Structure 1
Amino acid sequence: MSSNRYPTAVDVAIVGSGPTAAAYARILSEEAPGATIAMFEVGPTVSNPPGAHVKNIEDPERRSLAQRASEGPGAGAETVVSPGAVKSGARRARPGTYLLEDGFAFPGEDGLPVAAMSSNVGGMAAHWTAACPRPGGEERIAFLPDLEQLLDDAGRLLGVTSRAFDDAPFADVVRERLAAAVDSGRDPAYRVQAMPLAVHRRQDGGLVWSGSDVVMGDVTRDNSQFELFDESLVTRVLVEDGTATGLEVQDRRTGTTHQVTARYVVVGADALRTPQLLWASGIRPDALGRYLNDQPQVVFASRLRDVTAANIPPAADGALREQSGVSWVPFTDETPFHGQIMQLDASPIPLAEDDRIVPGSIVGLGLFCAKDLQREDRVAFDDDARDYYGMPAMRIHYRLTERDHEVLERAKDEIVRLGNAVGEPLDARPFVLPPGASLHYQGTTRMGLTDDGESVCSPDSEVWQVSGLFVAGNGVIPTATACNPTLTSVALAVRGARKISEELGTALAVPGSVTTQIRSPR
């Protein structure tokens, strides 16, 4: 019997299992149901159903084990348990993620010292905050006429709602106070509002956070033509005569290497590992890894004034809610930062110096800034050095420009103003998190309207140089965004998946066709 657990040929091979990779599997399952699909994830399955958010694991010990299993080479290392650890300058990953061992900064550069990744089925979506705001103004991709519909589709896949915290104590108070400070002169779409979140409440009041499992949905899980393979490291995309023909995968359980033939290959790892795989495969367009951008982040905290515990209805399960509401201050071109305002209950750290904390009354404010895009901000790869997985080592070159520092100063002034608007600040001044802290890395496989050397892929996410090879994830976003990027990157994945579905539909409709035959280069 063969020890190979992989198919020899499929219609579509998907690398990664985060929300954008899951979106490809979902759209293909819905719109090309006869297509065979194989998904490969380097990390283990840590939740049930596969790809589910670890916050949905009620037992704290099991949840902690799932987070540790997601940390790849960082498993066992100390992680951040409070903002205090970040403020003290400690270089630690958040639970469920791991940091680069080296190559994260170079002399004279800012680098991304806390650039982080996850290795598990579901990717970072098993650990994220689930915020899904829509891009606005210059954040939007001007050359996509169907962007609004794509964002609607992405919201459907992610299960986005703005109503999950309708009954949260003080949420209206927070938004009213923020609105009084912000809304004047703004278009209604850009005024203070509830944050759209990929989360819903059960009938018993418990929260259910969306992960890749929600994106895939029953239609994917019930698709007999779909298979997900965990602990599978894709080391190379196979290319012949300018066309993707499959991939090479290492079974991390046995150490054996196998080849899988595919009509289409989708690489949806993350904004660091997707360009790494392309580089390792000899696919090296000029823009690969370039225009890397993070979102400089400023944080602050306030206590709501004039509120009492008597106003708070008890949680359905008798316990304090993990969050009592998330508000959104949208990005505008005039104010190039996006506000995520979160009420915090039962904080694991002492946010105040006394015991007079009214649940829901501590408000954490965060402003994410849009980066000044630079071609030289990039992740490069060292063919003479290997990372934990045996892939070319990453080398990050990254600088904050004069404009970035100006925007950060504006954000610090603005967050103090907002903190005073909602209550009494707990700190004398705001804190700027170290570069990479946002986890919102973008641009490294950026989309473009034409193959002009400044983009890696087409508006359909197909790599310019390689027919049949698609890229997915936040790295595809070509604009400087301040808002959380997942909704946008899933929207772009929907567009790419439909392109494949259309082409597969034609092929599958041909009588007697063999769906796993290799296409001719276009």
Structure 2
Amino acid sequence: MTRSFPNAVDVAIVGSGPTGAAYARILSEQAPQAAVAVFESGPVLTDPPGMHVKNIADPVARVAAQRSSEGLRPHTQSPEGHYPDPSRRVVRPGTHLLPDGYRQPGEDGLPALAMSTNVGGMGAHWTAACPRPGGAERIAFLPDLDELLDEAERLLGVDRHPFDDAPYADVVRARLGTEFDPSRPEERRVRPMPLAVRRRADGALAWSGSDVVFGDTTRNNPNFLLFADAQVRRVLVEDGRAVGVIVRDRIDGGEREVRARFVVVAADALRTPQLLYASGVRPPALGRYLNDQPQMIFAVRLRDVSRQPEAEHSPRGDTAIAEESGVSWVPYIDEEPFHGQVMQLDASPIPLLDEDEPAPGTIVGLGWFCGKDLQESDRIEFDDSATDDYGMPKPRIHYTLTPRDHETLGRARAAILRAARALGDFIGDEPMVLSPGASLHYQGTTRMGPVDDDTSVCAPNSEVWGVSGLYVAGNNVIPTPIACNPTLTSVALAVGGARDIAARLAAEPEDTKDTKDTKDTAASTATIGGW
């Protein structure tokens, strides 16, 4: 069935992950008269659109949703069969790997580089961890960063003290605090990990996805449209200004032009610079300063703890962390440029030799994420003569770990072993360094900067240098060597950009009849688009 795309809107948003949803939400709150359309290459998975797949109670439906997120080469088990990645690279449910070009000769590359293609983006699959950056992680040229982070917490529904009463969580934090806190300022001491999690009316825990960021304000906005299976192939630029997008309907294969006063590209750290490149927007820093977080993991079993009755029952299954599982945080500091995510598990990921089944919460997984030594040569290049599965310029990854990165990994190894010794008995012999790209926290490829000096792609308001009305969003906007989970920060930056557009919409008179016509028909078109 041919869908009805609008001729024009005030704001076209490319991508429906947490940052694209943040633009839609802020614009719905601050510029409700504006016609706003979100275009997403992937399908709708849930009702409401953008919900976290862990909130899907039916395991069969959950697997189907994950598989539907995996692009054109799905791998998750389904009734139709299993499609393993032939290279045997590790890939997680709900994501799909970059099939080739992920490593160049003599380089480390990013063999685990993965993405999700669905309404809600990676926000339908993430761990929901929302720590705040500190020290060199912070963006020094943004004086209002803390207020923006506050607003990001509101949009994501962040709980700063989730699972405080989880069995053994106090033991874990006390032991980690004794080990790490004496050398730290008060605000960077061991604490609960802030999580985007909430309790539903039925008492169950639910994880925030883009549905939470959109919120009822956006869903009830008659001037808002969401189009699934709608791939934006090009941003239209005329006389130095973004004026619309070319959209390919992945249902009927047709292409449409949608004019827009502002365009926001929030398509992830690989596909945002790819779309700009395909559109002829190619500032010198585009795709450069690519930042993955070198990551290592380890596990221990808590020692010297009594079995707590409340830990005997866990409803978690394989869907989400339950209240029996605590999540603790060892924050980044400049003297130790990595951050620790410490998660109590319901069962050991490694078979134990003794006969006692461990109580849920006594098996503790440790994950340490390192800040990268940023360098211009870590980059995504795009090929003008070859295309990827979606018909876009084919990407090639250039990425190497520097001597400083290896030194940081060595220090992180020492820190994770300190944490493990403080907590209990090792499970396994050594911490495992994960394959580059495994963090899924890719940053920097459309980085923000204070001035246009060819080392950044966008200004502090997220507008692309030299292209009026074109904004970028996502983890790729973060310019610092951030080691903590980046979603909270990227949503905060999206808030700033959305406020800027809202102010400009208020200041600039409406200048197109097509936009008015779009507003008049938005309600009927929205259901066709998938909202």
Relative to the length of structure 1, the TM-score reads: 0.93
> How far apart are residue 207 of structure 1 and its match?
1.4
Rounded to whole Å, the distance in 1 between the matches of 2:448 and 2:458 is 5
Q: Deviations over 1:338-390 (max 9, x none)?
A: 0000001146x445334521111000001000000000000110111111101
Q: Contact 1:308 / 1:358 at 8 angstroms: preserved in 2?
A: no
Of 191, 194, 197, 1:193 maps to 191
Matched, 1:19 2:18: yes
Letter in 2 for 1:253: I
Rounded to whole Å, the distance in 2 between the matches of 1:409 and 1:176 is 25
Residue 169 (structure 2) aligns with: 171
- Match of 2:405, SS state, is helix
Residue 482 (structure 2) aligns with: 481
Q: Contact 1:303 / 1:361 at 8 angstroms: preserved in 2?
A: yes
Rounded to whole Å, the distance in 2 between the matches of 1:483 and 1:337 is 8
> How far apart are residue 307 of structure 1 and its match?
2.1
Rounded to whole Å, the distance in 2 between the matches of 1:245 and 1:3 is 24
Residue 389 (structure 2) aligns with: 388
Rounded to whole Å, the distance in 2 between the matches of 1:75 and 1:52 is 20
Residue 210 (structure 2) aligns with: 212
- Pairing of 1:104-503 with structure 2 (within 5 A): 104-202=102-200, 204-313=202-311, 322-323=321-322, 324-346=325-347, 349-354=349-354, 355-503=356-504
> How far apart are residue 428 of structure 1 and its match?
1.1
> How far apart are residue 206 of structure 1 and its match?
2.0
Letter in 1 for 2:304: D
Q: Contact 2:380 / 2:397 at 8 angstroms: preserved in 1?
A: yes
Rounded to whole Å, the distance in 1 between the matches of 2:107 and 2:237 is 36
Rounded to whole Å, the distance in 2 between the matches of 1:193 and 1:77 is 35
Of 96, 99, 114, 1:98 maps to 96
Q: Contact 1:32 / 1:501 at 8 angstroms: preserved in 2?
A: yes
Rounded to whole Å, the distance in 2 between the matches of 1:224 and 1:11 is 14
Residue 82 (structure 1) aligns with: none
Rounded to whole Å, the distance in 2 between the matches of 1:60 and 1:474 is 30
Relative to the length of structure 2, the TM-score reads: 0.92
Letter in 1 for 2:5: Y
> How far apart are residue 203 of structure 1 and its match?
5.6
After TM superposition, what 4+ stretches of structure 1 lie above 4 angstroms from structure 2?
A: 313-321, 512-515
- Match of 2:62, SS state, is helix
> How far apart are residue 308 of structure 1 and its match?
3.2
Root mean square deviation, CA, Å: 2.1
Q: Contact 1:342 / 1:363 at 8 angstroms: preserved in 2?
A: yes
Rounded to whole Å, the distance in 1 between the matches of 2:394 and 2:267 is 16
> How far apart are residue 317 of structure 1 and its match?
5.7
Q: Contact 1:322 / 1:346 at 8 angstroms: preserved in 2?
A: no
Q: 1:78 to 1:479 in 2, by over 3 A?
A: farther
Q: 1:350 to 1:455 in 2, by over 3 A?
A: same
Q: Contact 1:340 / 1:367 at 8 angstroms: preserved in 2?
A: yes
Q: Contact 2:7 / 2:514 at 8 angstroms: preserved in 1?
A: no
The more displaced of 252-261 and 196-205 is 196-205
Q: Contact 1:11 / 1:515 at 8 angstroms: preserved in 2?
A: no
Q: Contact 2:449 / 2:456 at 8 angstroms: preserved in 1?
A: yes
Q: 1:103 to 1:391 in 2, by over 3 A?
A: same
Rounded to whole Å, the distance in 1 between the matches of 2:75 and 2:189 is 43
> How far apart are residue 196 of structure 1 and its match?
0.5
Q: Deviations over 1:230-284 (max 9, x none)?
A: 0011000000000000000000000000000000000000000000000000100
Rounded to whole Å, the distance in 2 between the matches of 1:363 and 1:313 is 14
For structure 2, the residue ranges without an aligned partner over 5 or more in a row are 79-83, 517-531
Residue 520 (structure 1) aligns with: none
> How far apart are residue 489 of structure 1 and its match?
0.3
Q: Contact 1:150 / 1:492 at 8 angstroms: preserved in 2?
A: yes
> How far apart are residue 185 of structure 1 and its match?
2.3
The more displaced of 104-113 and 90-99 is 90-99
Residue 520 (structure 2) aligns with: none
> Kindly, what percent of the aligned residue pairs are identical?
62
Rounded to whole Å, the distance in 1 between the matches of 2:317 and 2:436 is 35
Residue 73 (structure 1) aligns with: 72
Rounded to whole Å, the distance in 2 between the matches of 1:206 and 1:309 is 25
- Match of 1:276, SS state, is helix
Matched, 1:63 2:62: yes
> How far apart are residue 316 of structure 1 and its match?
8.3
Q: Contact 1:472 / 1:489 at 8 angstroms: preserved in 2?
A: yes
Rounded to whole Å, the distance in 1 between the matches of 2:466 and 2:194 is 37
Rounded to whole Å, the distance in 1 between the matches of 2:172 and 2:447 is 37
